Amino acid sequence: MSFDRSKTPRWRPGYRFQYEPAQKGHVLLYPEGMIKLNESAALIGGLIDGQRDVAAIIAELDTRFPGVPELGDDIEQFMEVARAQHWIELG
């Protein structure tokens, strides 16, 4: 089964992506706590706006980081993990 890149990710209600100076990085805030995101996850998270589909997010990061092998697969994997962890909804 292949990943559907036409799906549009949105942060779930109650989840907020933001830069947190105290953490010196991007975090995902939610009612029960906070998740500090690594640099790659923060780059992807910054493009989750409820408007761009996964294909558009991949295309944008491919322009910023041309020639990165398996970039699309890595972004798909992030989306799968984020959905499994209930951080995002894919619509």
Partner residues linked to 10 by β-bridges: 89
State the residue range of the domain holding 39: 9-90
Crossing angle between the packed helical segments 71-84 and 54-64, to the nearest 10 degrees: 130
For residue 1, being part of any structural domain is answered with no
For residue 70, being part of any structural domain is answered with yes
Query: How many domains in the chain?
Result: 1
Q: Mind listing the pLDDT tens digit of every residue in the chain (91 residues)?
A: 578 999 999 999 999 999 999 999 999 999 999 999 999 999 999 999 999 999 999 999 999 999 999 999 999 999 999 999 999 999 9
Cβ atoms of residues 7 and 86 within 8 Å: no
For residue 65, being part of any structural domain is answered with yes
For residue 3, being part of any structural domain is answered with no
For residue 48, being part of any structural domain is answered with yes
The CATH number that applies at residue 22 is 1.10.10.1150
pLDDT at 16: 97
pLDDT at 2: 74
For residue 46, being part of any structural domain is answered with yes
For residue 4, being part of any structural domain is answered with no
